[in-house]
Amino acid sequence: MVSYVFFEKGKIDLIERIALSFALSISTVPLLVFYLNLLGVKITRVSVILDVLFIILVSAVVRFIKNGKNTKTNL
């Protein structure tokens, strides 16, 4: 989902999107867990799952906002 924030559908092919998604997940999830640990959030399985869900939710909201702006300008 995060790759759709940076590249619209059709801009890159499936293999590039899979590679980009893999790289983004490797970079964003550990960084978020690290910084939340610095803030005092304990690292547990539940907290990591909630962190991943938070990343997905934020990227989905950003994507839908971007798509909403694109469809309004196309009318």
Half-sphere exposure of 59 (CA within 13 A, CB side): 18
CA distance linking residue 66 with residue 11, whole number of Å: 15
Instruction: Provide CB contacts within 8 A for 2, sequence distance 6+.
Output: 21, 24, 25, 28, 55, 56, 59
Per-residue pLDDT of the chain (75 residues; tens, 9 = 90+): 667 777 777 778 888 888 888 888 888 888 888 998 999 989 899 988 998 898 889 888 887 887 776 655 554
Model's pTM, two decimal places? 0.65
The one-letter amino acid at 32: L
HEC readout, 61-75: HHHHHHHHHHHHHHC
